[in-house]
Amino acid sequence: MEKKILIIDEKPPIAINKVLTRKDLYTVYLELNKIGEESKLFGEASTLRQYIDQINLAIASLDCFKRLKPIEDSYHLPTALRDYYSILYEGDDIESIALIASIIRNGGIVKHEANTSTWQEGKIFTIERNDYGKEIKTVIFDATAIYDLEYSGSSYRILDIPPIRRYENFYINNCPEMNLSRACMNNPAKELNFDVLLCDLNIKNKKAFLLTYKNQKNAISKIIEDRYGNSSNICMGHYNNVRGKNDFVESDLMLAYGMNYLGDEFYLAKAMALEISLKNMEFTREHKARISKDDDLNRIMCSDMFCDLVQSILRTKLRRNTKDVVQFYSFIPYCEIIAMLKDYFVDCNIMDWYPDSFYKQYHDNGSRTKKPTNVKFANLLERRFSNLNSQGAMSISKMEVKDALGYTCQNTFANHLNSEYVKCKLQQLGVTVGHHNLIKINNEEMTEQ
């Protein structure tokens, strides 16, 4: 019976951005060398070896530009050669030969060492795209499709269904002022003690889901075991490995420790796979976030991280359509992602969150300078205002703060006073900001009056 329609539950692979290394090129080349002249596949194997030589030559000739152009856009890996290679090759990375074919046909994105034109051992990203509607009419069930730029182009028609669920029980607590990228967390000079964050969260008796990077998982698991023993209700997961899992469905608290930013080259490759023209391929850092100088590429980055994050959040108790409160703690420096979370989780509660001791540790590690910081500002406020009992009103002039902390620039002082962390600390202490003074009024005296 002829198939009329294909139905896919959950998003299938659309933009194919996989990684090939120079070692992979060399390994495939050596395996192809084993195919002798007596084999019917000798000619096809020789052709592929020549293409690999051209890839290596193209990489060596690249300057600072990351794009590797296609070598032969009509090339397709012969089925007989692919099948023979799968028998011949005894390693685990059997798909390398198919990725090489993709690079021959489509080109790729090459990763360089920072500030040099040296090719970094690691990475060529493929830039291929699957078109599911080309052969047969296809329906894909994907709750984040409207936010996912992989569905861009004329091949897809997105049905925008009005939301039927409300998330009044979902609380998003986000700390936007910390950079917990992979590079930062792998830097020994900026090493953070996760145990401090555990104390701030106070999650001993809670069913929690902790999501982090793969290379952080074992160390964090050891810290949790040392603090809480084997009786902990905390479940660990790492990015790119929780989709479809039900291990966290009892969790009413989730911590996303870090952001799943997959690297500049990955997003460049995705943009090219989606045939999105980029005006600028440079990246920079702004407000703790890695961003592109191209607006379209920023949208791709935020779309990708958002969709991945939603899939992880929906592994928690929210999956059961429960009315129980679910708390989500994060370190998201992208306001665009926060806006998308607010839009997706209708009626959810979003607030700034500062894990106090962990936040201070982060800033102590990040800067050894004697210059005033918003953390030093907050510490001074705590010392001056936290011991107010029945003394009535207490105040400190802005000039006193500036002198005590050594501010020499009015703009820096104003920026720290208006930072979200200091404003949060002022609210905790019950301090209001006047024209010249910071003022706290004792609540008991106000009640008596």
Q: Any idea which residue has 């936007």 for tokens?
A: 176
pLDDT in tens, 12-56: 889 988 988 888 999 999 999 999 999 999 999 999 999 999 998
Q: Residues 6 or more apart from 83 whose CB is under 8 A from it?
A: none
pLDDT, position 115: 47
| CA distance linking residue 153 with residue 129, whole number of Å | 12
Same topology, domains 170-358 and 369-448? Answer is: no
CATH of domain 170-358: 3.40.50
pLDDT digits (tens, 9 = 90+) for 409-428: 899 889 889 888 898 888 88
Distances (CA, A) of 398 to 14, 70, 236, 413, 439: 56, 62, 45, 9, 10
Strongest mean pLDDT among 182-186, 203-207, 227-231, 324-328: 324-328
Rounded to two decimals, what is the model's pTM?
A: 0.85
Report whether 373 contacts 363 (CB < 8 A): yes
- The confidence score (pLDDT) of residue 447 equals 38
Q: What are phi and psi of 216, to 5 degrees?
A: -100, -15
> What is the domain partition of the chain in residue ranges?
18-126, 170-358, 369-448
- Tens digit of pLDDT for each residue in 361-398? 888 775 545 566 888 888 888 888 876 554 555 888 89
Treating both helix axes as pointing N-terminal to C-terminal, what angle do 194-201 and 356-366 enclose, rounded to 10 degrees? Answer: 150
- Class of the 369-448 domain? mainly alpha
13: which DSSP letter?
P
* Interval 181-192 mean pLDDT: 84
Q: What angle do CA 157, 159, 164 make, to 5 degrees?
A: 165
Count the neighbouring beta carbons within 10 Å of the beta carbon of residue 53: 12
Which tokens in the block code for residue 397? 């002039």
Per-residue pLDDT, 177: 86
Mean pLDDT estimate for the chain:
87
pLDDT of residue 50: 96
Output b/e per residue, 29-45; b: 16+ Cβ within 10 A: bebbeebeeeeebeebb
pLDDT for position 53: 94
